[in-house]
């Protein structure tokens, strides 16, 4: 049953296109937006006749703090460290649009930050909300990587760390097996990073990054499956003037 649930999540994720947009102001504050939308052609190839049977409609906007307040009796049961983790998300905003009629399935998660280090790992937002609502233990989560950002002087870093080698090994094997099942499909599975800096870029650690004409922005694209199999491959260091 657990494996079937994993496949459902993987199907949803691998038929999506993700864009991670970061805007940094001169004072190092800024905004980050993590947006994922389902590529309808890709999803239709995978689920086949089930595609026409969808009936869902949802259009919802909320802030993470709303769930901390509403389910505070659950929230206070978590350890101090777990509450601190959740509090990092408290100002994160979420907009969900799921329309079977319009065939639009889009999730937009955004955060305003005062300094780069305040940025939460936005891809986990909905997962953590579910934990609070249902009083799930964080120790039961099967997250195996963490994304964080730093900006020290002229050095910007996007740092992806493997947090659980055992889970990573297991999930990597599952993803590999699933990947072989997708060989004959023509899927759009892009993960695009669009970063805008307050100063011009001198160097970028990944040679595939495309630097904008203003020299203050870059765009870098990965395949989602490749990202899931090797999250650390999306590490990035940018040197600014």
pTM of structure: 0.88
Low-confidence ranges of the chain (pLDDT < 70): 1-15, 39-48, 51, 140, 185, 187-188
Nearest to 157 by CA among 203, 110, 91: 203
DSSP string, 130-153: HHHHHT--GGG----EEEEEEEET
What range defines the domain where residue 64 resides? Answer: 2-240
Q: How far is CA 175 from CA 7, 9, 203, in A?
A: 9, 11, 33
Give me the pLDDT at residue 162, please. Answer: 95
Give me the pLDDT at residue 175, please. Answer: 82
Give me the pLDDT at residue 5, please. Answer: 38
Give me the pLDDT at residue 8, please. Answer: 45
Q: How far apart are CA 51 and CA 42, in angstroms?
A: 11
Mean pLDDT of the chain: 88
Give me the pLDDT at residue 23, please. Answer: 98
Give me the pLDDT at residue 17, please. Answer: 86
Give me the pLDDT at residue 7, please. Answer: 44
Owner of token pair 């040679």: 207
| Count of domains forming the chain | 1
Give, for 163, the enclosing helix (H) or strand (E). none
Question: Which three-class secondary structure state does DSSP give residue 49?
Answer: helix
């Amino acid at each position: 049953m657990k494996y079937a649930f994993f496949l459902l999540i993987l199907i949803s994720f691998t038929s999506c296109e993700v864009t991670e947009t970061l805007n940094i102001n001169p004072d190092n504050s800024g905004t980050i937006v993590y947006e994922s939308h389902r590529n309808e052609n890709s999803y239709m190839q995978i689920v086949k006749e089930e595609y026409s049977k969808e009936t869902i409609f949802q259009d919802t906007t909320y802030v993470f703090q709303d769930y901390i307040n509403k389910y505070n009796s659950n929230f206070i049961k978590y350890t101090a460290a777990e509450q601190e983790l959740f509090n990092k998300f408290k100002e994160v905003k979420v907009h969900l649009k799921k329309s079977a009629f319009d065939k639009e399935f889009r999730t937009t998660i955004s955060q305003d930050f005062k300094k780069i280090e305040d940025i939460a790992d936005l891809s986990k937002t909905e997962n953590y909300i579910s934990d609070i609502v249902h009083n799930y233990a964080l120790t039961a989560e099967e997250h195996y990587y963490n994304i964080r950002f730093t900006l020290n002087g002229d050095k910007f870093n996007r740092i992806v760390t493997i947090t659980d080698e055992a889970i990573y090994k297991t999930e990597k094997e599952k993803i590999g097996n699933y990947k072989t099942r997708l060989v004959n499909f023509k899927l759009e599975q892009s993960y695009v990073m669009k970063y805008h800096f307050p100063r011009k870029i001198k160097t970028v650690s990944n040679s595939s990054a495309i630097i904008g004409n203003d020299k203050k922005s870059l765009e870098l694209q990965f395949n989602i499956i490749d990202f899931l199999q090797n999250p650390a491959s999306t590490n990035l260091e940018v040197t600014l003037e």
